[in-house]
Amino acid sequence: MFSRTLTEKSMNNYLEQIDLLKATLRECDAVVIGAGAGLSTAAGFTYDGERFRRYFSDFEQKYGFHDMYSGGFYPFPTEEERWAYWSRHIWINRYMDAPKPIYHDLLRLVKDKDYFIITTNVDHQFQKAGFDKKRLFYTQGDYGLFQCSNPCCQETYDNEKAVQQMLMAQGYIIGVDNSLIVPEGITLKMEIPPALIPHCGNCGGAVTMNLRCDETFVEDEGWHLAAERYENFLRTRAGQRIVFLELGVGYNTPIIIKYPFWQMTARNLKATYVCINQGKAVCPKEIEKQSICIDMDIGNIMKKR
């Protein structure tokens, strides 16, 4: 449908594009937000550097990996060690608040609009920031859910209590703001007791995170209800002045957000496609006149709103 030619629309006119975005949001009938990993990165959910070392320096020293992504694929020798790693990973990327207030800023921007959100992020930060959960579709899962590894059924399980127990078994204290505190004089353990290894509530087998990594991903009832609400939102707003606001979406899974946003914009001459993505703010030539592309940090855009 689209040519291979992509257009960069904002090299030196950031303020002009931001003003155009403000006006478009004021005048639109509905907003569909498509959020990718770049949004959470801008909010401070980095997987390497100081944040990684703060929580995983012991794992880095012992196993030699230098970021959380690599740690997620590391072949730990025991389940006790694997779940010690994953309990920290889940907690800081799901239950702790984002270091920067971008999600709250975004809510203030659209809270009075007719909106819906589709996201490939699994950190649950939209709901934590106060977005209506019935206007959210987490397509790729949720760090806060376990599922059977097999899977034996299409069910998921809340994991907050289980993860808390794993963390406390390693020596952590959990603060009132869900921060992880290491008591003075305590050396953290890098394994959990065998009794805390989680198991499927249905078959008793091994569990894993509810993340779309392969064909074993569980699409539970909540997932299907969210998908239906998203489809209904798009269907009932067809032909309206819709802003398809794409935030931090790359090309790992463009068929979920980016390509559909392009296609829906092309089919609706009243629609506007907005791409905010530092280094990747482009649009197809065919919808250039309906597009606003801003090559800038998302957090800085929120400050200028």
Q: What is the 3-state secondary structure (H, E, C) of 76-134?
A: CCCHHHHHHHHHHHHHHHHHCCCCCCHHHHHHHHHCCCCEEEEECCCCCHHHHHCCCHH
DSSP assignment of 229-247: HHHHHHHHTTTS-EEEEEE
pLDDT at 11: 46
- The more confidently predicted of residues 139 and 13 is 139
Residue 13 has pLDDT above 80, yes or no: no
Mean pLDDT for the chain overall? 93
Q: What is the DSSP letter of 186?
A: P
Q: Is domain 6-42+100-140+220-303 given the CATH code 1.10.8.640 in the classification?
A: no
Q: Domain segments of the chain: what residues?
A: 6-42+100-140+220-303, 49-97+160-197
Token pair belonging to 211: 């993340």
Residue 189 has pLDDT above 70, yes or no: yes
Residue 10 has pLDDT above 50, yes or no: no
Of 19-23, 261-265, 289-293, the one with minimum mean pLDDT is: 19-23
